[in-house]
Structure 1
Amino acid sequence: MDMLNGIHAISRSAANRYGRILRRSAQDAVSASELNDAIRGAQLWRDQHITPTQNCFRAVLDECTDSFPQPVCTYRLKRLVSIIRKLQRTRTHLHLGELDDIGGCRLIVDTIEEAREIWVKLRERLDIKSSKGEKNYIAQPNVSGYRSHHLLTKNVVNNQSYYVEVQIRTKLQHFWSTAVEAVGEIYGMEYKSPEVRAHISGEDSERIEFFRIVSSLFALEEDSALVPGREGSYADLCSRLRSLSCSQRLIKDLESSTDDVCKVNAEVAEGDTFFLLSFSREEQILNVMSFPDWDIDEALNAYSNLEEDSTVLQMHGGLNSEMDMDTNGVLVHAQDFTQISIAYPNYSANMREFVDRAKDYLRMEI
C-alpha cells in the first residue's frame, strides 16, 4: 500500500467499496460501525485528491497568468457531504472511485476567444483522461442552459491516477451559473441537478425555462451557440422571457438577495493575488485571507487546514441536513481583491450584473 501525505493510501477499488456502503446507507440498514468506516474511507479518498488537484492548479496558473490580462482561477475540493449525496442520488449508479469532480479548478476569462485560447494551451499541457475527457458546453450548450468548457485531466501520484476537472468559462457564463445556484437557495430547490429538473413542474419548471432563455440571450451577446430548443432572435427570446409568469417575481427575489448583508472579515495586503475565501452560511460571514503571488505553498496549506477543520465538523455531525451548515471554502487567484466577487458573486451578494441584464431583457422596471 502506498503512502500519500504521510498516511496509507487506499486503492480505487477500495474507494468503490466504501462508496457502495454509502449508497446503501440511504435506503438499507447499515451498521453504525460500517457506516463510519465508509465515511472515513470516502474522506481518505477525497484527501488523496489534494496533491493531484494542487498540481493541476499550478499548471493552470502557469498557463494563464502571463497570457491574459484579467484571469480568475479557483481551486477547490468537493465537500464530503456533496460527494456522499451525489452517490446517494436515486436512479444513479455512481462509483466513488470513478467520480471525476472531487478535485476541481475553474478559470474565468472575459471572452469566448480567451476561453478557446486557454483551452488549446491546457489541452497541450495537461494529460486528458481519454477521448471522453472533454465536454464543450460552449459549442454545444447543455439543454439546461449550462455553458462552459470542461477538461477531465489525469494526474498520477505514487502510481495512482486521479481525475481533476478543469472548467473554463466566461464571466457571463459564470454569472449565469451562480445565479442558478442562488435561485436554488432562495426556493430550496437544486435546479442545477439533472435529476431534479427531470421531475419538477409548475413554477419550478418555469424558473428553469427562465434560465434557459437567459442563457441563449447571453450566448447571442457572445456570438456563440444557443441552447437547444431556445433558438431565436434577441427580440423573440426577450418576448418569450416576458411571457413567463415567474419572471418578475424571480428577478425581485434575486435582486433582494443581492441586498442581503454579508459581513466581510478581510485580512488583505496590497499586491496580494491569492485569496482564501471561507463562507459561513449560518453566520453569513465571509472571511478572506490573502497571500502574495510567490507564496502559493502557504496559500494551498491554508486551504488544506480550512478543509481539515470543516471535515471534522462534517464527520462529527453525521449524515444529516446540518452538514450543510459547515464552512464552504475556495482558494482564488486574481489580480486584486476586487476580483474575488467575480469568482464567487453568490458569496459577496454581487449578482447585480446578472440582475441588470435580465431586467434589460424583460424591459420592465421591477
Structure 2
Amino acid sequence: MKYSRKKITKAGNILLTSKSEEEINDALNLINDWRTNHLQPLKVMKRRLVKLLEKSKISPILISQRLKRLTSIVYKLDLNPQMGLGGMQDVGGYRAVLKDVKDLYKLKAILENTNYYNRFEKCNDYVENPKPSGYRSIHYIYKYSSKVPEYDQLKVELQIRTKLQHNWATAVETAGIITKTSLKSSQGPDEWLIFFRVVSSLFAIKENLPVLDEHKDNTMQELMVECYNLCVKLNVIDTLKALRVTTEHLEKQKFPGDYYLIHINTEKKGVTINVFSKSKYELATQKYLEIERKIDDSKSAVVLVSATSFKDLKKAYPSYFLDTSEFLNALEKINTNCIKLELIKTNG
C-alpha cells in the first residue's frame, strides 16, 4: 500500500480531533488519495464478479460500486473508535442485487467454493443472522493483490442481497433523512426503528428466512397488524412518497460516462449529477472531496458511484434520489392484506 495502516489511522484521528485547519486539510487530502486508490481494485473485482455471474447463469438485478462518503467514514469512526481508519474495510464497496433468495444462495455457494476469489478475508452473513436493526445482506471482505504499491493489500467489500432486502435498506436510508438520524445503525426515534424491524421480519417471512429474535413468538398476522398501525401513526407512505426527487429532466439526457458524482439537496429535493470518464477518475475524486468539504450534512449528500447509464444509476442508488417506490409497493400489499384479514376476523 502507498500508505501504511498506521498513517491512515493517524489521518482519521486528526479528522476527528484536530482544531487546526491546516492539519485537517492535509489529513483530508491524504484520506481522499487513499480512498481514490480503491477505484482500481473495485473495477477489477467488479469485472470478475460480472464474469462469474455470467458463467454461473445468474442474472443480477443490478451491480454497482461506490467510494464511501466522508460523512459515513467519520460516523463509522465515531461509532467504532477502536477500529481506526486504517482498519476500515468498506471504503471501496461493490454490490450485487439478486432476484431472490435462490439466486442469493447460489452465488454465495459459488463465492465460497471457488479459487477465483482466493484473496477472500472474511464473511459476515447478515441474512441468516440479521443486524438488530433488521438489516440483511451478506458481506465479503477481499484483500487486493497488485504489483502497483498504491493498490496492493487494499481491502474492498462485496455485498450481495435480494431485491426485497435492497428495497428495505433503501427505505431505511431514505427515512434516515426525514429523522436526520442513522436508522440503519439503530440510531433514531424508537417508533421508526420498531417499524423497520417489523417490516424486516415480514419480508423475511416472505423469503422463508429467519425473523428477528424479538419476533420469534409473533404470528405473521400480528406483525402485519403492528406494521399497519405504525404506518398510520407515522404516516409512513405519504411521508416517503412526498420525499421523492423529480428526475424527468435528467432522464432525457444520455449521460455517457463511467463515474457519476451525485449531489442531492434533500431540502429542495433537487439533484445534480457530474459525469466523468475512466481517465478522469482523479478529477472526479477531487471534485467529490471539494463538495464534501462545503455541504451541510443535514441538508444535502454527495456520493461518487459507477454505472453504465442513468437508469442503472437510479436503480442502484435509489436512496440518493429519495425513491422508495418499490418498498412502498411491498408495504401497501402488506397493509391491504392486513385490512382484509381484519375484515374477515370482524365479520367472522
TM-score (structure 2 length as normaliser): 0.82
Displacement, 1:337? 6.2
Instruction: Check the 8 A contact 2:174/2:324 in 1, yes or no.
Output: no
Aligned mate of 1:215, from 193, 197, 200: 200
Unpaired segments ≥5 residues, structure 2: 340-348
The 2-side partners of 1:148 and 1:96 are apart by 23
Render the CA deviation track for 1:5-42: whole Å, top value 9, x for unaligned.
xxxx22222112212222323xxxx3332222222222
The alpha-carbon distance between structure 1 residues 300 and 63, as it changes in their structure 2 partners (threshold 3 A), is farther
Q: Confirm whether residue 32 of structure 1 aligns to residue 21 of structure 2.
A: yes
The 1-side partners of 2:234 and 2:31 are apart by 43
Structure 1 residues 208-287: aligned runs within 5 Å: 208-231=193-216, 232-244=218-230, 247-258=233-244, 260-266=245-251, 267-268=253-254, 276-282=259-265, 284-285=270-271, 287=273
Task: Supply the AA of the counterpart residue of 1:256.
Answer: A
The 2-side partners of 1:188 and 1:112 are apart by 32
Task: Supply the AA of the counterpart residue of 2:108.
Answer: W
The alpha-carbon distance between structure 1 residues 326 and 239, as it changes in their structure 2 partners (threshold 3 A), is closer
- Once structures 1 and 2 are overlaid, which stretch shifts more, 144-153 or 352-361? 352-361
Unpaired segments ≥5 residues, structure 1: 3-8, 290-297
Instruction: Check the 8 A contact 1:241/1:247 in 2, yes or no.
Output: no
Aligned mate of 1:140, from 114, 129, 139: 129
Q: Which residue of 2 aligns with 1:343?
A: 316
Structure 1 residues 105-116: aligned runs within 5 Å: 105-116=94-105
Displacement, 1:227? 1.8
Displacement, 1:129? 4.7
Q: Which residue of 1 aligns with 2:346?
A: none
The alpha-carbon distance between structure 1 residues 360 and 190, as it changes in their structure 2 partners (threshold 3 A), is same
The 2-side partners of 1:31 and 1:349 are apart by 36
The alpha-carbon distance between structure 1 residues 275 and 343, as it changes in their structure 2 partners (threshold 3 A), is farther
Indicate the structure with greater helix content.
2
The 1-side partners of 2:194 and 2:204 are apart by 15
Structure 1 residues 1-366: aligned runs within 5 Å: 9-25=2-18, 30-66=19-55, 67-87=57-77, 89=78, 92-123=81-112, 124=114, 125-130=116-121, 133-157=122-146, 158=148, 160-194=152-186, 196=187, 200=188, 204-231=189-216, 232-244=218-230, 247-258=233-244, 260-266=245-251, 267-268=253-254, 276-282=259-265, 284-285=270-271, 287=273, 300-301=278-279, 305-315=283-293, 317=294, 321=296, 325=300, 327-332=302-307, 338-363=311-336
The alpha-carbon distance between structure 1 residues 92 and 110, as it changes in their structure 2 partners (threshold 3 A), is same
TM-score (structure 1 length as normaliser): 0.79
Task: Supply the AA of the counterpart residue of 2:76.
Answer: K
Question: Identity across aligned pairs (percent)?
Answer: 26
Instruction: Check the 8 A contact 2:53/2:59 in 1, yes or no.
Output: no
Instruction: Check the 8 A contact 1:149/1:168 in 2, yes or no.
Output: yes
The alpha-carbon distance between structure 1 residues 229 and 300, as it changes in their structure 2 partners (threshold 3 A), is farther
Displacement, 1:349? 4.7
Q: Which residue of 2 aligns with 1:292?
A: none
Render the CA deviation track for 1:275-308: whole Å, top value 9, x for unaligned.
754432137135486xxxxxxxx95445554333
Instruction: Check the 8 A contact 1:129/1:163 in 2, yes or no.
Output: no
Displacement, 1:127? 3.5
Question: Which SS does the other structure have where 1:46 is aligned?
Answer: helix
Instruction: Check the 8 A contact 1:127/1:154 in 2, yes or no.
Output: no
Render the CA deviation track for 1:235-271: whole Å, top value 9, x for unaligned.
121022234376451222012224x4235424439xx
